[in-house]
Structures are given as structure tokens and as C-alpha cells.
Structure 1
Amino acid sequence: MGTVINSFVINISLIFLFMSLTFYVMRTVLPIQPTSPRFVRFWFGVSNGLTAILLTINAIELGDALIDLRLIPIALSATYAGPFGAIVTLGLIFIGRMTLHGMSAPFIDAILMFIVFYLFSLLLSRISMHRARGYAIYIGFGALLVLIRVTGNVDARVFMNVFVPYFLMLSLGAWLCYWAAKKLETHLWMFLLHTHRATIDELTGLPNRYRTLEQMNDLEMSGKPWTLLVIDVDHFKQLNDTYGHLVGDAALRHIGQTLERISPPEGFVGRYGGEEFLLVLEGSTGVEEVAEKIVETVRLTTFECQGEVIPMTVSIGAAIAELEPSMAVFERADEALYAAKRNGRDQVRFA
């Protein structure tokens, strides 16, 4: 009994391991569903197929019989990735069984069951239902196929000693695995959501202060040359006082979109706070042209709100990083920005 429980725990652990790795690697494309891109469903099917092969290798011994829980990854694949994911998983199982056991009567029976299961997944995919219910139906249908296969082929003693424990372990394992998959998917989804909120400025959609300073720190640690532009919207307080905060917010979004559009490929633009933006550039050549282009583009790009064209300009302070901390570069660029402001705005000053 202890050996059977130990084997069951090992099998469930294998499913958990592959499922966790799969969801983590695919965390940026969650949720996985039958309408996900084909490559997502393909790799999800591959992961479950490999899991099923390992479950076959680590089959559970019940007396003189061997059972495995491969129906669980098959059902997971069909539930999450639809018929396409299921056929990928079943195809890998076919290859694995052929490699391990060759052609045999049980192998032919198993292939027939796979075909029936796939056809059933095609049928079930046409019916709209809750994912948990669909998963339960897949598990139940797979168990029914096993039951049909063994009925009349084994005596009552073997059925009670082997297949009754199998159905119990299958039911418990299926519930545990679906519960874990659901919790894991929710956890990773919430993690991505909180990460997005922690690094993206809600108003402009640009990286926020934390993410932008992190980029500066990364370039500092890399030892490569880099340049910082501190960009400030001119007369923004006056704009807010004249037109209101909603127009001010629209103006900041306009500036943010303009900066994102004209920034060079090697540039990283983010909102530092208020009406101030940062542009972090790898390298130190061509920086003057980039800065002058920003000033000119903002000046010439029309900002229209509530039927009125509102002129907008920016001042820029720039500093080329030397062997110094990133915040020291920021302080030099900030001083250059104030020099540009004092000199009449709508211009660039280098530290």
C-alpha cells in the first residue's frame, strides 16, 4: 500500500512540475485557451505529451498490473488547448509508446482509444461550457473508455484490485491537478498584472519612474556609454490653470505618445513624474540631433483639445554619462534643463 501511495505522489508531482514550468514559460500569453495562437497550443500540447510519456515510464504497480495517469495531461491539454492541443499530446504519446513498447495488441487498443478521445474533443469543443465542467467531462469520458476496454476482459478480482483503485487515484489526481493549474494560472496572471501596474505609468502608458531609473542603473552597470535627456513640458502649470487638469492630462499623453513615436530604436523613454520625461539612450553619438528633433517635433506637432489648438513646447537637459553613478548623470542633466528654462525654453542644453 505504501509503495502504491508513493508512486501516486511521484506521478502527481511529475504533472505538477511540468505544469508549473509550462505556465511559467507561457506566463506572457496567459490565459491558455482553445482560441490562443497555434504555437501556444502546440507547445502546451508538447509539454503534456512529455508528461504523459513520463507517467507511462513511472507507471504505478498494483499487484502484477501496471497503471498510469496519462489521462490527466491528455484532459488538461484538451481542456486548455482544445482539439489541436489534444492531438499534439496524443501524437507524442503515440511516438513514446511505439519507442518504448513497439507494436502490440494493447498498443493498437490504446491508439483506437486515442482516436475516439480526439473525435470526442472535436465534438465537445463545439459546445460552450465552463472550463472546469469540460475538464470533468474529459476525465469521465476517458475513464469510461478504459472501463469499456476492460469490461469482459478481466475477472472481478482483477477489476476490484486494479481498476477500482485506478479510478479512485485518477479521480483524486485529476481534481488535484486541475485545482493546481487553476491556482497557478491565476497567480501568474495576477503577478503580471501587478508587475505591469508597478512599472507602467497609468496616465501615459510609458514606463514609470521606477522602471526608467532601473534602465539607467542597468546601463550604468553595463559599463557602456549612454546618454540621458531630461525633458520638461514648458508652461505646463499655466496650461493646467487655463484649461483644467483633464486637458493637462491629455497634453501629457500627447507628449508621451510623441516621444515614444520619435525616439530612436536604442532609446528608452519613460515618465519621471509631473510634466517631466526621461529619454535614456545607449551610446553618445548623434545625441544632439535626437534632442533637437524632439524639440522641433513637439513644437510642430499639433495638440488640439476641445476644438482649440494649444501650442506646446519642451525644454531638454542632456548629459553624457561618464564613469559616475546614474543619479549623478541625472543631476547634471537636470541642471542643464534649468539652464534651458532660464535661457527662454523650447531648446536643448548639454551639461
Structure 2
Amino acid sequence: METGINSFLINISLIFLFMSLTLYVMRTVLPIQPTSPLFVRFWFGVSNGLTAILLTINSIELGDARIDLRLIPIALSATFAGPFGAIVTLSLIFIGRTTLHGMSAPFIDSLLLLLVFFLFSLVMTRLPIRQGRGYAIYIGSGALLVLIQVRGSVNETIFINVFVPYFLMLSFGAWLCYWAAKKIETHLWMFLLHTHRATIDELTGLPNRYRTLEQMNDLEMSGKPWTLLVIDVDHFKQLNDTYGHLAGDAALRHIGQTLERHRPPSGFVGRYGGEEFLLVIEGGEGMTKVAEGIVQTVRHTTFEFQGEIIPMTISIGAAIAGHEPSMVVFERADEALYEAKRNGRNQVKFA
């Protein structure tokens, strides 16, 4: 019995390992569901298929019999990724079983059970059932299919000594794996949400000061040439005083979107704070033309608020980085910005 329990724990650990790695790799596309993109459901099905094959290889010995828990990854795949995920998982199981054991009568019986399970998943997706309840139905239905298959072909002693422990292990393991999957999914989702909030400016949707300074530091550490543009919205206080803070917020969003649309392909734009933006560009050639083009683009891009067109211009201070810390580059660009504003705004000055 101790050997069976140890094997059970190893099997559950295998499911946890593959499930955790899969959800982590797919953390940017969570939650995984039957309506997720096809490639997401495919790879989720592949992961569960590989898990099922490993569970078959590491099957649990109960006396002279061997059982496995491959129904758990099949149910996970069907629950999260729908019929497509299930058929990918079942296909891998078919390939794995054929490769390892060849065609046999028990294998054919198992294949028929898997096909029935797949057809059942097609029906399940059309029913308005909560995910957890649907998973329980998959597990219960799979166990029922196994029971129907073995009840008439084994004696009572084998049934009690082998299949009763199997159903207990399956039930407990299935609950444990689903609970862990939901916890991991929720944790990764919350982590991404907090990361997003920590690095994105809520008003403009651009990277915030922290993320933009981090980009500057990355370019500094890379040793590549790079350029910094410090961008300030002209007469922003006057706009706020004349039209109100809602207009000011709308103007900042407008400027941010304009900069994002027209930045160079190697450029990274973020909001530094207030009415200031930073544009970090990899490279140092032709930056005068780039900066002047941005000033003209903003000047000629219409900003309308509550039916009124409001002229918008920006001033830019620019500095091409040498072999110096990124904050020194920022100070030079910032000083050039103040020179641009002193000279009448709506222009570019290079440090």
C-alpha cells in the first residue's frame, strides 16, 4: 500500500509540474478557456497529453494490477481548452500508447473510452455549466466509463482491492489538481495585473516613469548608441485653466497616442510625469529629422475637445548618449528642453 501511495504522490507531482510550467509560459494569455486562441488550446492540449503519457509510464502498482491517472489531464484539457484541447491530448495519448505498447485489446477498449469522452466534451461545451462543476462531471463520467468497462470483467476481490482505491485516488487527485490549477492561474493573473499597474501610466496607457527609466538603463548597459527626447506639452497650465482638467487629461492622452503612433520603430515612448514624455530611441543617426518630424506631427494633428478644436504643440530637448550614465543624458536633454521653451516653444533643441 505504501508503494501505491508513493506512486500516487509522484503522479500528482508530475501533473503539478507540467501544469505549473504550462500556465506560467501561457501567463500572458490567461485565462485559458474554450474560446481562447487556437494555438493556446493546442499547446495546452499538448502539455496535458505529455503529462498523460508520463502518468501511463509511471503507473501505480496495486498488487498485481497497474492503474494510472491519465483521466485527470484529459479532464483538465477538456475543461480549460474545450473539445479541441481534449482531442489534442487524446491524440498524443493514442500516439504514446501505440509507440509504447502497440495495438492490443485493452488498448482498443481504452481508445473507445477516450473517443466517447471526446464526444461527451462536445456536448458539455454547449451546456451552461460552471467550470468547476463541468470538471467534476468530466471526472465522474470518466470514472463511470471505467466502472462500466471493468465491472463485468473482474471479480469482486480485484474490484475492491484495485478499483476502489483507484476511484478514491482519482477523486482526491482530481480535486487537488483542479484546485491547484485555479490557484496558480489566479496568482499569475494577479501578478500580471499588478505588474501592469506598476509599469503603465493609467491616464495615457503608456509606460510610466519607472518603466521608461528602466528602458534607458537597459540601453545604457547594452553599450549601443541611443538618443533621448524629453518632450513637454506647451502651455499646458493655460489649457487646464481655460478648458478644465478633463480637457487637460484628454490632451495628454491625445499627445501620448500621437507619440506612440509616430515614434520610430526602435523608439520607446513613456510618460515621465505631468505633461512630460520621454522618447528613448536606439541609435544616434538622423535624430534631428526624427525630432523635428515629431514636433510637426503633433502641431498638425487635430485635437478636439467637446466640439472645439484646440491647437496643441510640444517642445523637445534632445541628447545623443555618449559613454555616460543615463541620468546624465537625461539632465542634458532636460536642459535642452528648457532652452527650447525659452526660445519660444514648438521646437527642438539638442544638447
Shorter-chain TM-score tier: over 0.9
Supply the AA of the counterpart residue of 2:308.
E
3-state secondary structure, aligned to 1:159: helix
Q: 1:253 matched to which residue of 2?
A: 253
TM-score in terms of structure 2 length: 0.99
Q: CA deviation at 1:58?
A: 0.3
**Which residue in 2 is equivalent to 1:9?**
9
Q: Which whole-Å CA distance do the structure 1 matches of 2:189 and 2:78 have between them?
A: 21
The residue that corresponds to 2:174 in the other structure is: 174
Displacement of 1:4 after TM fit? 1.2
Where structure 1 has 5 or more consecutive residues not aligned to the other structure, the ranges are: none
Say whether residues 1:84 and 2:84 are aligned partners.
yes
**Counterparts of 1:1-351 in structure 2 under 5 Å?**
1-351=1-351
Aligned-residue CA RMSD (Å): 0.6
Q: Name the CA distance, whole Å, in 2 between partners of 1:305 and 1:52.
A: 59
Q: Partners in 1 of 2:151 and 2:277 — Cα distance?
A: 72
CA distance in 2, matches of 1:288, 1:149: 77
Cα distance in structure 2, aligned partners of 1:347 and 1:126: 61
Deviation at 1:274, TM superposition (A): 0.1
The 2-side partners of 1:307 and 1:18 are apart by 56
SS at match of 2:109: helix
What's the offset of the Cα at 1:261? 1.0
Deviation at 1:48, TM superposition (A): 0.2
Q: Identical aligned pairs, as a percentage?
A: 83
- Answer with 173-182 or 289-298: which moved more: 289-298
* Separation (CA, whole Å) in 1 of partners of 2:151 and 2:215: 65
Offset of residue 303 of structure 1: 1.1
Matched length: 351
**C-alpha distance in 1, partners of 2:315/2:47?**
53
Measure the CA separation in 1 of the matches of 2:164 and 2:308: 77
Three-state SS of the structure 2 residue aligned to 1:254 is helix
Higher mean alpha-carbon deviation, 296-305 vs 63-72, is at 296-305
CA distance in 2, matches of 1:275, 1:101: 68
Moved more, 165-174 or 124-133: 124-133
Q: Which aligned segments of 4 or more residues in structure 1 are displaced greater than 3 angstroms?
A: none
- Decide which moves more: 243-252 or 298-307: 298-307
Deviation at residue 123 of structure 1 after TM alignment:
1.1
How far 1:111 sits from its partner (Å)? 0.7
- Give 1:312 deviation, angstroms: 1.2
Cα distance, 1:308 vs structure 2: 1.5
> How many Å apart are 1:321 and its aligned residue?
0.3
| Alpha-carbon distance, 1:301 to partner | 1.4
1:297 deviates by: 1.2
Task: Map Cα deviations across residues 126-182 of structure 1 (whole Å, 9 max, x no partner).
Answer: 111100000000000000010001011111000000000000000000000000000
Q: For 1:264 and 1:138, how far apart are their aligned partners in 2?
A: 51
Matched residue SS, 1:81: helix
Q: Which runs of 5+ in 2 are unaligned?
A: none
Structure-2 separation of matches of 1:20 and 1:315: 49
Specify the SS of the correspondent of 2:279: strand
SS in 2 for 1:23: helix
SS at match of 1:293: helix
> Structure 2: how far apart are the matches of 1:248 and 1:151?
74
